[in-house]
Structure 1
Amino acid sequence: MKPTPPGECRQCYPHAYDKKIHARLKPGEDCKPCLDHKDNGHGDNIVPKTSKWW
């Protein structure tokens, strides 16, 4: 898995692109960390963007 790119959430990015993370869920079962981020936001999990003004 590639590292999380700038501007993306460290938890949401792997959950969106790594099928192994959700493979253990039963059909119709929701991922609790995904639901938590949907309801409560990302907090400090966003990878900072680098400035291109230099």
Structure 2
Amino acid sequence: MDTPPGECTQCWQHAHDQRIHRRLGPREDCPQCVDHMINGHGSHLAPKKKSSWW
């Protein structure tokens, strides 16, 4: 599944691929997701298409 333009690739993958969090126990947070929430998306954003509006 491709990440839509402007979305974070890691957030998109973690939200739509159940295999990633399967190894976590009940009420256990994903370290990658926690780090991402604290430190932001960084360079993980998928590039947006160039707007042809103007």
Q: Matched residues, percent identical?
A: 55
- The list of structure 1 runs, each at least 4 consecutive aligned residues, that deviate by more than 3 angstroms after superposition, is none
2:30, 2:43 → 1: CA distance?
20
2:17, 2:46 → 1: CA distance?
18
Residues 1-54 of structure 1, C-alpha deviations (whole Å, 9 max, x = no match): x11111111111010111111011000110001001100000011001001317
1:52, 1:37 → 2: CA distance?
28
Paired residues, number:
53
Q: TM-score, normalised by structure 2?
A: 0.89
| 1:27 has 2:26 as partner | yes
1:13 matched residue in structure 2: 12
1:23, 1:48 → 2: CA distance?
29
Pairwise CA RMSD: 1.2
Q: How does 1:35-54 map to 2 (within 5 A)?
A: 35-53=34-52
